Structure 1
Amino acid sequence: MPVSRRAFLQSAAAAPLVSALPGFATAELALGSATLTTVSDGHLMLPGALVFDPMPQEELAPILRDYGLSSGSLEPECNLALYRDGTYNVLFDVGSGPDFMPTAGKILSGLEALGLAPEDITHVVFTHAHPDHIWGLLDEFDEPLFYDARYLMGRAEWDYWWNPDTVSTIGEARATFAVGAKRRMQVIEDSVALFEDGDEILPGIAALSTPGHTPGHMAFEVRQGSQAALVVGDAIGNHHVAFRRPEWESGSDQDAATAAATRKMLLDRLTVEQMPLVGFHLPNGGIGRAEQTDDGYRFVEV
């Protein structure tokens, strides 16, 4: 079979990364006959102030010490959830692509480590449209990287980024987010399926509105029979203060008060139902459970 230029460039780009970055953290969870696996897209390098500035600094300091963290910088993992049931290969978000940060955008290597290629993905479902979740949509030719996949996004999230006023109202620091999101969304405009809170978007996958980090952020309950897990995206954005003090407002959220209420709702549900979660920026592959403690919650890896 002839090798297309697209396929040649994808394999050429991925091959050196696999050997150069062998330590991709992945985790896996069985759900009946299906599996949820996380695919690494690398990691981000962020100023700590992005998250910590709105928080009470005296109370924050001992929490950071407990987790061995610096208030100056953070390097969160980027873990894309991949659901496979023998019929569908569903990827939640597409990562950063090459234009956001040099430490991220490694999705091709992450997939190759699992023996998968872009054409194996049947569906791409977006939690939201921040750069580390949607900028990996396009390949070197500005065409969809996952060219055989169907695309799905919550209607509220789509409408927010599609609105021409968003770029001028989102704030100067995030204006490039709006430009980058819309450019990529324009490519899939005629092929994307939009959904609402509570919709079963695919067999066994139901949407759950989790606003705050972005206006239309969605989480997803993935269920096979009596077994279920929650793909939370950035609604629970880290394993430290988001768990210990979910009520604290974070600078990484666009609507910090709404995001804090969403976090508390999710953590209450996860602990009551003892449901596993998959978090985009949680450590060591991002799959674990939430446990209630005397002073909040904690993330327990699987």
Structure 2
Amino acid sequence: MMPLSRRAFLSGCAALPVSLQFERLAKAELSIGNGVLTTVSDGHLTLPGSFVFEPMPWDELAPLLKEAGISEATLKPDCNVSLYRDEDKTVLFDVGSGPDFQPSAGKLLEGLELAGIAPEDVTHVVFTHAHPDHIWGLLDEFDDPLFYEATYMISRAEWDYWWNPETVNTIGEARAAMAVGAKRRFEAIEDSVEFFDGDQEVLPGIQAVSTPGHTPGHMSFEVRSGSEAALIVGDAIGNHHVAFMKPEWPSGSDQDAEVAASTRIALLDRIIADDLKLAGFHLPSGGIGRVERAAGGYRFLPEAI
């Protein structure tokens, strides 16, 4: 039996005990032409295994988890915020959890300080999607935007979904707090946000890639300079185990599991076909690595830190 339900996790994150160990703010780094892609740790989450595994076929899942050394009961995925810098811009992809989601997360400012970045240095904040661990770090203690010099950018489909007053009523009781939290943060940047659509160049060298399913308007981003490129995938590939071994399986973390599975397969195929590196928000060892085919599925190979 899995000791904590998905519903209990979603509604009770604030009640989790404070970690006694300071989170290791590991990062990975990748040169892309004249720019540098760095991942900065926002800490980690603590999730019940059922949050991801609940809709999967248990008789097939159990041996895969054993082989990968993954607990069926509790997952502690890293949270890697991607930071891209070139001579013209300093771009954050998502802003982490902030102080109000889980005590083991919300470490982004500490990680940025280690990377030599102050909040006012950030020129652009580009959102993959609006789940709490990606957007709740938007505001400071006065409920003002933390990255106050930045331009904020998000897909129109993602904004419209969370801005819609009906979303809180239709997303399900367990996720209602996510809708309330997203709307509150959107209100703080309503007058300064810029919108884009899939397959649009949002900034020079940064192309949006529509990757729906985890949320309706989830976006990934191809960062390219000359012949060098990497794909920032957000939560479109949400873990380093089952998402690679069995990408066609539904995940409980996705809002539309069927669409998300199709998206995941297409992304993995694209990464291999185009020989791309990838940066994943919840992937281990800093989250930057490459993909190879393995045993009927795929395998994530992290870059050395």
1:53 aligns to what?
54
For residues 241-280 of structure 1, what are the structure 2 equivalents within 5 Å? 241-280=242-281
For residues 67-216 of structure 1, what are the structure 2 equivalents within 5 Å? 67-216=68-217
2:26 aligns to what?
25
CA distance in 1, matches of 2:170, 2:149: 35
Instruction: Confirm or deny that 1:300 pairs with 2:292.
Output: no
Q: Given that residues 207 and 221 in structure 2 are in contact (C-alpha distance below 8 angstroms), is that contact kept between their aligned partners in structure 1?
A: yes
Q: Number of residues paired by the alignment?
A: 283
Aligned-residue offset at 1:24: 1.2
- CA offsets 1:178-234 (integer angstroms, 9 cap, x no match): 000000000000000000011111000010100000000000000001111000000
Identity rate, percent: 67
The list of structure 1 runs, each at least 4 consecutive aligned residues, that deviate by more than 6 angstroms after superposition, is none
Aligned-residue offset at 1:21: 3.2
TM-score (norm 2): 0.92
CA distance in 1, matches of 2:170, 2:62: 33
CA distance in 1, matches of 2:272, 2:74: 30
For structure 1, list consecutive stretches of 5 or more residues without a partner in the other structure. 1-19
CA distance in 2, matches of 1:68, 1:294: 17
CA distance in 2, matches of 1:286, 1:155: 27
For residues 215-234 of structure 1, what are the structure 2 equivalents within 5 Å? 215-234=216-235
CA distance in 2, matches of 1:170, 1:22: 32
Aligned-residue offset at 1:119: 0.6
Q: Given that residues 236 and 263 in structure 2 are in contact (C-alpha distance below 8 angstroms), is that contact kept between their aligned partners in structure 1?
A: yes
TM-score (norm 1): 0.93
- CA offsets 1:118-156 (integer angstroms, 9 cap, x no match): 111110000000000000000000000000100000000
CA distance in 1, matches of 2:281, 2:181: 20
- CA offsets 1:12-58 (integer angstroms, 9 cap, x no match): xxxxxxxx737212000110110100010000000000000100101
Aligned-residue offset at 1:87: 1.4
1:8 aligns to what?
none
* SS of residue paired to 1:80: strand
- CA offsets 1:237-286 (integer angstroms, 9 cap, x no match): 00000000000000000000000000000001111111000000000100
Equivalent position amino acid for 1:69 in 2: I
* SS of residue paired to 1:128: coil
